[in-house]
Amino acid sequence: MAADSLANLASYADFRESIRPAIPTIIALLSDEDVTARKWAPDSLAELSQQAEFRKFIMPAIPQIIALLSDNDVGVVWVTARSLGKLSEHVEFQPSIVLAIPQIILLLGDKSDWVQIEAADLIIKFVEQAYFREFIVLTIPQIMTLTSHDNWKIRRVVANLLSKLSKQADFEDLIASAIPQISNILSEDIWQHLAENMDL
């Protein structure tokens, strides 16, 4: 909510000159000991990036934001992934954000359901940007190995991700061989839910 409020203020030209000097302070919070501060900072910077005049001041912080994908707090990792999705919409940040792709692929296998889903959503978000597409193509073999993961929830997230990617021309041929396995996983997902709900 605080990040949204700051973004709303920044949407008014009269307030932007007052907000700009606060950006270094927000960037410093990326490495704060307080978990709430580390959640708020990337979200706030992502919201402020909607204003083009702030982006050159946010640019140096991109590596610090990416570093939070390795944070010990699940909430920080989740917010950071979501924030990178927003930041990736701006071409100025894309060459820096593309370096995070290997780490984001690893998050598909995270122990947290939230993080797995957010990582998959972020990959879909990246694919919407032409700049990222060729880099995501290179990761498909690695992503496909996760369809054999021991954790059925990870298999489900990855199967859903591959299913969505397969609808795009750049990925169709790469994923075609895995379609039977993806279908089996998605069917398995339905039975798993039924079993859990019936305590089987």
Q: How far is the C-alpha of 194 from the C-alpha of 200, rounded, in Å?
A: 8
pLDDT band at 177 (very low <50, low <70, confident <90, very high): confident
Query: pLDDT per residue over 37-88, tens digit each?
Result: 999 999 999 999 999 999 999 999 999 999 999 999 999 999 999 999 999 9
Domain at 94, CATH number: 1.25.10.10
CA dist., res. 177 & res. 169, Å (int): 15
Query: Residue 122's pLDDT is what?
Result: 97
Long-range contacts of 49-54, Cβ-Cβ distance < 8 Å, separation of 24 or more? 49/86, 49/87, 49/90, 49/93, 50/7, 50/10, 50/11, 51/10, 51/11, 51/16, 53/16, 53/20, 54/10, 54/16, 54/19, 54/20, 54/23
pLDDT reported for residue 17: 72
Asked whether residue 157 is domain-assigned, the answer is: no
Find out whether 21 and 10 touch, Cβ atoms under 8 Å. Answer: no
Is 186 part of a structural domain of the chain?
A: no
Residue 43 lies in a domain: yes
pLDDT-based confidence at residue 184 (cuts at 50, 70, 90):
confident
| pLDDT value at residue 187 | 83
Residue 154 included in any domain: no
Could you give the number of structural domains in the chain? 1
| Spatial distance between the Cα atoms of 85 and 88, rounded to a whole number of angstroms | 5
Per-residue confidence (pLDDT) for residue 107, from 0 to 100: 97
Report pLDDT for 89: 96
Average pLDDT over residues 153-173: 93
Residue 174 in domain:
no
Whether residue 106 is contained in a domain is answered as yes
Structure token digits, residue 124: 């879909």
High-pLDDT (> 70) share of the chain, % = 86
For residue 187, being part of any structural domain is answered with: no
CA distance 2 to 36: 11
Residue 196: pLDDT above 60?
Answer: no
**Residue 194 binned pLDDT confidence (cut-offs 50, 70, 90):** very low
Confidence of residue 195 (pLDDT cuts 50, 70, 90): very low
| Ranges 13-22, 95-104, 153-162: which has the least confidence | 13-22
Task: Give the containing element (helix H, strand E) for 106.
Answer: helix 101-107
Whether the predicted pLDDT of 190 surpasses 90: no
Structural domain for 112, as ranges: 2-139
Specify the pLDDT at position 100.
98
Would 104 be classed as within a structural domain?
A: yes
* Mean pLDDT computed over 166-176: 92
